[in-house]
Structure 1
Amino acid sequence: MTGKGLAAALALTTALAAGSAWADVESKDPIKLTLHDWTGQLITTQIMGEVLKKAGYNIEYVQADYIAQFAGLKTGDLHVAMEIWETTGRDAMDEATATGNVENLGETGMQAIEEWWYPTYMKEKCPGLPNWEALKDEACAEAFSTAETAPNGRYLGGPVTWGGYDDERAEALELPFEVVHAGTDAALFAELESAYQRKAPIMLWVYAPHWAPAKYEGEWVEFPAYTKECYEDASWGSNPDAQYDCGKPRGPIWKVAWSGVKEKWPGAHKAIQSFNVNNDEMGAMITEVDLNGKKLEDVVADWISSNENRWSGWIN
């Protein structure tokens, strides 16, 4: 067969395969899944996307800002966001679902923690930890300082796009700490790795599920427990003039979608609702990518290969 003939045959085979796959789906239009800037979310989203592809759906991955994506989900320009964390995304999610244009598709199976974290070796210099009030002590704050922030302590927050109200929290609780935001997820944990190896001072945003809490010995700061009133009512809490004088909420990581997904792609809607992984699974996959150097696509493919009995139930 000539080169042109072979190419034509391959094209026909591909078209027939696609036609066969699409015969069982409701629309050939691409379902747009959002990608963000941390490894776990990329894994979660690509697992879901690749499973939907196996059901015959046309999938498009779209880079989007974590909070700003809700504008696109409301209009239907974006379709599915696989990780909305109770810790940082609840307000934006509730506002979006209240419009009726965005639907909460339930829990992913993962439970979220995002909070100020420090290595255990720092307790020698700030023995009152993990109680947050220890951070108000000038000597403790100075123990966490850098040349740029001294005598104030330095708190390394996540990228600004993650939200989380860390700047507001430090101000509301009158902590002598300067909040500095890492530019990327990778930069955040590179600083942790460097500081930990040198036993240098560091206080930073650490989240779970992630490999860091398993690899490094440390603790999350225990702030006053989150309540909705803390975020909405300045009179609540220790500072009667400020909101956010408490810790971050903890709880599920949610899946959300444009409300039109249910009507346009009902099979995909059911599959996304069924998606479920746990913290241990996700932590292990993130470790493979971030620490062991495996390609993210290969880690996703390994999970797909090892869990066919599980994900096939999502799409059947």
Structure 2
Amino acid sequence: MKSTNVLKGVGIGLALLLAATAQGRTAEPGAKDEPIKLAMLEWTGAHVSTHIAGQLLEKLGYKVEYVTAGNFPQFSGLADGSLSASVEIWLNNVGDIYPKVLAEKKIEDIGKLDLKTQEGWIYPKFMEKVCPGLPDWTALNKPECIQALSTPETAPNGRFLDYPADWGSRAATILADNNMQYTAVPAGSEGALVAELEASEAAKSPLVMMFWGPHYALAKNEVGWITMPPCKEQTNEHCITPPDVDKIVWSGFGAKWPAAYAFLKAFKMDATEQQKMMLAVDKEGKDLDAVVKEWVDKNEAVWKPWVDAAKG
């Protein structure tokens, strides 16, 4: 009985020692004299996410460089270490190089950004009076809805505003798969898509279109998302699903900058907040760094857990 109590005492003492050691352990900052090079991709949402990460890394004492990078070429830079990290990778658009360098363990996926993405068919909310039954896709098949969306260009079909032609047209495939009386008309550009959405809202002119989020246009225009028709085949051409967005680092990142690695693993991005900042930059002409700094100054409660994760 006595020996059992002694063993219990030893076990408790060891547990307390291990707990104290764990509490005292912090992630090492690593090579703070060498800059962390963050990939700056083509779209404003990625600029926002990247600059938030960068400003917070600077609060942790790191040097940060923002390096302009193409969506596909960035993976070569991440693989050879000339880029350190990319914090907003949309996994529906990574080309052939991403799975190759991931399999070769030249890059590391450090988890979800938790950015709530959307992609599919949208309409200005007033369309629910024009096509009763929306957001269910079958409402689009009603004769009064087809007629309202018909134009001289598409009659007797309704007009569906699609992505620009060089982006590919999954919408046209889905319309054909489901025998819907619509013609997909490509927009000239992203700007043209947004301009039509804004014009439709202002004039209350009928519109159904392909779109995605987060996007600054969704911060100022109230839209509905159509419940999509069933997929004919489980392929990219026949199905539209919201893409995952992950954070990717060079394979040597964790060893070189341990605390920064812990921070980036914890780092998240809220889509609604991102859209507000995109609107400020793209439509209101505000400086990106200033917009991000204002968010950081006002949202310590949001980002403090990420910074705490870096400190152990």
TM over 0.5: yes
Q: Is the 8 A contact 2:86 2:247 kept in 1?
A: yes
Determine the structure 2 residue equivalent to 1:178: 184
Contact 1:117 1:220 in 2 (8 A): yes
- The 1:106/1:145 distance shift into structure 2, 3 A limit, reads farther
- Change in Cα spacing, 1:211 to 1:155, as seen in structure 2 (3 Å) is same
**Residue in 2 aligned with 1:205?**
210
Equivalent residue number for residue 244 of structure 1: 237
Tell me how far 1:24 sits from its aligned partner: 5.0
After superposition, the Cα gap between the structure-2 partners of 1:142 and 1:263, relative to the gap in structure 1 and judged at 3 Å, is farther
**Aligned residue number for residue 135 of structure 2:** 130
1:153 alignment counterpart: 159
Query: CA–CA distance in 1 between the matches of 2:45 and 2:237?
Result: 27
Question: Whole-Å Cα distance in 1 between the matches of residues 298 and 225 of structure 2?
Answer: 34
- Cα pair distance change 1:208/1:245, threshold 3 Å: same
Unmatched runs of 5 consecutive residues or more in structure 2:
1-27
Q: Aligned equivalents of 1:146 and 1:129: distance in 2? A: 20
Cα distance in structure 1, aligned partners of 2:137 and 2:72 = 28
DSSP-derived class of the 2:113 partner:
strand
TM-score, normalized by length of structure 1? 0.70
The two structures have a TM-score, normalised by structure 2, of 0.71
Q: For residue 313 of structure 1, what is the aligned residue in structure 2?
A: 308
- The one-letter amino acid paired with 1:305 is D
C-alpha distance in structure 2 between counterparts of 1:259 and 1:168, whole Å:
39
Structure 1 residues 24-73: Cα deviation after superposition (integer angstroms, max 9, x where no partner): 54264443322234332211111112222333433332333335544443
What percent identity do the matched residue pairs reach?
33
Name the SS for the 2:115 alignment partner: strand
Report how far residue 273 of structure 1 moved: 0.9
Counterpart of 1:237 in structure 2 is none
Moved over 6 A (4+): none
Q: Map 1:17-28 onto structure 2 (within 5 A).
A: 25-26=30-31, 28=33
Q: How does 1:1-316 map to 2 (within 5 A)?
A: 25-26=30-31, 28-67=33-72, 69-85=74-90, 88-89=92-93, 97-135=102-140, 140-141=145-146, 143-146=148-151, 148-150=153-155, 151=157, 153-157=159-163, 160=166, 165-166=170-171, 168-170=173-175, 172-173=177-178, 175=180, 176-184=182-190, 186-213=191-218, 215-224=220-229, 230-231=234-235, 244-246=237-239, 248-250=240-242, 252-290=244-282, 292-308=284-300, 310=304, 312-316=307-311
- 1:66/1:196 Cα in 2 relative to 1: closer, same or farther (>3 Å)? farther
RMSD: 3.7
| Residues 131, 75 of structure 1: alpha-carbon distance in 2 compared, 3 angstrom cutoff | farther
Give the aligned residue type for 2:163.
G
Structure 2 residue identity aligned to 1:180: P
**What is the CA-CA distance between 1:118 and the residue it aligns to?**
0.8
Q: CA deviation at 1:158?
A: 6.4
| Contact kept in structure 1, 2:38 and 2:67, CA below 8 Å | yes
Distance of 2:140 and 2:77 partners within structure 1? 40
Distance 1:230 1:67, change over 3 A: farther
Q: Distance in 2 between matches of 1:160 and 1:75?
A: 30
Distance 1:164 1:156, change over 3 A: closer
Instruction: State the SS of the aligned residue for 1:285.
Output: helix
Alpha-carbon shift at residue 315 of structure 1 (Å): 4.0
Residue 254 of structure 1: how far off its partner (Å)? 1.9
**Is the contact between residue 71 and residue 94 of structure 2 (CA under 8 Å) also seen in structure 1?**
no
Deviation of 1:114 after TM superposition, in Å, equals 1.6
- Residue 213 of structure 1: CA displacement? 4.0
Query: Once the 2 structures are TM-superposed, how far is the Cα of residue 141 of structure 1 from its aligned partner?
Result: 4.7
Distance 1:298 1:159 in 2: 35
Instruction: Please state whether the residue corresponding to 2:116 is helix, strand or coil.
Output: strand
Instruction: Classify 1:244/1:128 alpha carbon distance in 2 versus 1 (closer, same or farther; 3 Å).
Output: farther
Question: 2:114 aligns to what SS in structure 1?
Answer: strand
Distance 2:142 2:254 in 1: 53
Report the Cα distance in structure 1 between the residues aligned to 2:268 and 2:244, rounded to whole angstroms. Answer: 12
Q: Quick one: which amino acid aligns to residue 45 of structure 1?
A: T
1:181 to 1:57, Cα distance in 2 relative to 1, 3 A: farther
SS at match of 1:195: helix
- Tell which deviates more after alignment, 213-222 or 150-159: 150-159
* CA distance in structure 2 between the aligned counterparts of 1:203 and 1:307, rounded to whole angstroms: 36
CA gap of 1:36–1:164, structure 2 versus 1, over 3 A, is farther
